[in-house]
């Protein structure tokens, strides 16, 4: 193992906490190694007044870290898997998938509210969340909101929103479960592909002997199924397609949401298979739903 491992991370409190989780796992593999966390601000973090779809997509959250990896300024990068583009750079493979945290989406109400009012204004820039929320709360409306957890909570208090939607995983990793007003089950709102999973990215050809020891096989299988579904349906950051895999023993149950742009309607379906067929499950379900659509 290297004597020093430099972990690249975005600057937000959540991103650093996620890097610390991976750091601690590496140190458990070899307490003698030194691990440093190097933070940087990505383009996606700098531009908060426009939707991701308008400024270039999820790649804006990883571009600077990718460059630092290729340049040798860092040895690995830690990402929320849901923030990574579906098309992976073969020169920068995902080495390990962390154990999945709670994959659900949650509602945060404005501090003076105990329930959603009539005709609530909900802060989200995610089309995936919008189309599913419209079924749960038909009289709601939406306004875009971007930024890290703390930024969004501040905007919720000061900019007229009644509620906002966030991933439970991030709030739990920050020890902020107390701010959650309502959990949405994965049946009520299918999560983004990879939600709750940390991805550890490295350089092709380098030696990462510890990676297999921190890799969570169930997270790897879920990631493969979910991300393949999105790839095949042509989903990207502008598409509300979604997928979530639930694993029980050797069984993998994949639920997919396929959105039809022409009719602006979506359908939901499931596919059950063995965990060893994870990637194929994503492809099979995607093709089936596209044909039916």
Instruction: Find the DSSP H helices in the chain.
Output: 13-29, 43-46, 52-55, 63-71, 127-136, 149-158, 168-173, 211-214, 217-233, 278-292
Cβ(225)–Cβ(197) below 8 Å? no
d(CA 78, CA 202): 9
d(CA 121, CA 114): 15
Nearest by Cα to 136 from 191, 188, 190, 192? 188
State the catalytic residue, choosing from 66, 83, 105, 162: 83
Q: Which residues does 178 contact at the CB level (< 8 Å), separation at least 6? A: none
- Cβ-in-10-Å burial (0-12, 13-18, 19+) of 124 comes to buried
Q: Helix 217-233 and helix 278-292: axis angle, to 10°?
A: 30
d(CA 173, CA 19): 11
Question: Does 83 qualify as catalytic in the annotation?
Answer: yes
Nearest by Cα to 253 from 228, 230, 285? 285
Q: By three-state DSSP, how is residue 109 classified?
A: strand
Active site residues: 83
């Amino acid at each position: 193992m290297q004597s020093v491992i430099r972990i690249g991370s975005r600057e937000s409190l959540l991103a650093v906490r996620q890097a610390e989780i991976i750091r601690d796992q590496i140190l458990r593999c070899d307490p003698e190694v030194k691990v440093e966390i190097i933070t940087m601000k990505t383009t996606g973090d700098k531009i908060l007044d426009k939707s991701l779809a308008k400024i270039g997509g999820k790649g804006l959250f990883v571009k600077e870290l990718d460059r630092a990896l290729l340049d040798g300024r860092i040895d690995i990068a830690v990402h929320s898997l849901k923030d990574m583009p579906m098309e992976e750079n073969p020169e920068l493979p995902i080495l390990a998938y962390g154990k999945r945290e709670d994959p659900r989406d949650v509602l945060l109400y404005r501090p003076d509210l105990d329930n959603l009012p009539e005709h609530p204004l909900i802060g989200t820039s995610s089309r995936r969340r919008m189309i599913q929320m419209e079924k749960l709360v038909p009289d709601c409306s939406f306004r875009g909101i971007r930024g890290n957890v703390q930024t969004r909570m501040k905007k919720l208090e000061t900019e007229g929103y009644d509620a906002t939607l966030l991933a439970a995983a991030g709030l739990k990793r920050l020890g902020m479960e107390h701010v959650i007003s309502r959990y949405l089950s994965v049946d009520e709102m299918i999560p983004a592909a990879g939600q709750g999973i940390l991805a550890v990215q490295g350089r092709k050809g380098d030696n990462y002997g510890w990676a297999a020891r921190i890799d969570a096989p169930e997270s790897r299988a879920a990631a493969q199924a979910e991300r393949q579904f999105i790839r095949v349906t042509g989903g990207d950051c502008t598409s509300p397609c979604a997928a979530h895999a639930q694993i029980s023993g050797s069984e993998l149950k994949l639920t997919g949401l396929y959105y039809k742009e022409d009719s602006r309607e979506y359908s939901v379906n499931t596919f059950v298979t063995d965990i060893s067929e994870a990637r194929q499950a994503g492809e099979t379900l995607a093709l089936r739903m596209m044909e039916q659509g």
